Amino acid sequence: MKPELTADALVQLVHRYYPVGLHTADPGYNVTEEAQRLTRLLEANAAGSQTWKDFYQRVRGEFPDCSLWDTTVPLNDPCYGCRVSQPGFFPGDPRYDSVVCLLSQLAPVYAIYAAHLEEKGSGLPRDHWLCFPPFPPEYQSRETRLARLIESTFGYTRLSNEVLFTSVPDLVPRMANFSIGEAQLIDCLFTPNRW
């Protein structure tokens, strides 16, 4: 990992975009210098960069047997996101398995995770899990190909699980329903909403 992308450096970076010690419901949260800085960044990236749009088309070409879903939530989360299904799975199916990439708008870093969602029928709980590396074998080929595309397109660095799950105990990401003390770098650099 590049020295400027250490967990400590990334924790310092996210402190520039989230106010210290304030919950998102606090009336002063959105008027802080940090929250305003994040709002300006999100507004600047709301339409999606041309590089992101080109990347999404490259993913479509790389995975023609998969459904794709741009999971970017402009003006909410400081990241771009893309969900690549396993072959034969489509959004809305009772079972949907996928590999998801998140690319930060705050730093040149990314994360990838595997996801499984299966509806069990009316009244029954659904089966749902997320997995960070190492992935189950059936997800590894897509993981490798997606990582290669991200790095060749953006030059971003993939964060290790250790860095992703570094605690940032004094911040609450703006779209998170967290208490102070629950946030991790993955929540602040990307999104607290993963499924």
Rg of the chain taking only CA atoms, in angstroms: 17
Residue 79: Cβ within 10 Å count: 22
Q: In this structure, which amino acid lies at residue 113?
A: Y
Which pLDDT does position 48 carry in this prediction? 86
Which pLDDT does position 125 carry in this prediction? 58
| pLDDT tens, position by position, 88-100 | 777 777 777 899 9
Q: Which residue has the tokens 């993981």?
A: 143
| pLDDT tens, position by position, 110-121 | 999 999 888 776
| pLDDT tens, position by position, 6-40 | 999 999 999 999 999 999 999 999 999 999 999 99
Which pLDDT does position 187 carry in this prediction? 96
Which pLDDT does position 165 carry in this prediction? 97
Measured distance CA(195)–CA(98) in Å, rounded: 10
How confident is the prediction for the chain on average, in pLDDT? 91
| pLDDT tens, position by position, 144-192 | 999 999 999 999 999 999 999 999 999 999 888 888 999 999 999 999 9
Which pLDDT does position 122 carry in this prediction? 72
Q: Which residue has the tokens 């990236």?
A: 45
Token pair belonging to 2:
């590049």
Which pLDDT does position 153 carry in this prediction? 96
Q: What is the dihedral of CA 135, 3, 34, 162, to 10 degrees?
A: 30
Which pLDDT does position 21 carry in this prediction? 94
Contacts within 8 Å (CB) and 24+ apart, 63-66: 63/142, 63/145, 66/142
Which pLDDT does position 4 carry in this prediction? 66
Which pLDDT does position 32 carry in this prediction? 97
- pLDDT for residue 128 is more than 90: no
Measured distance CA(104)–CA(177) in Å, rounded: 20
Which pLDDT does position 1 carry in this prediction? 46
- pLDDT for residue 81 is more than 90: yes
N- to C-terminal Cα distance for the chain? 27
Query: Which of 81, 34, 43 has the alpha carbon at shortest distance from 59?
Result: 81
Residue 1: Cβ within 10 Å count: 13
| Residue 117 to residues 92, 93, 126, Cα–Cα distance (Å) | 10, 9, 7
Low-confidence winner among 101-105, 127-131, 141-145, 148-152 (lowest mean pLDDT): 127-131
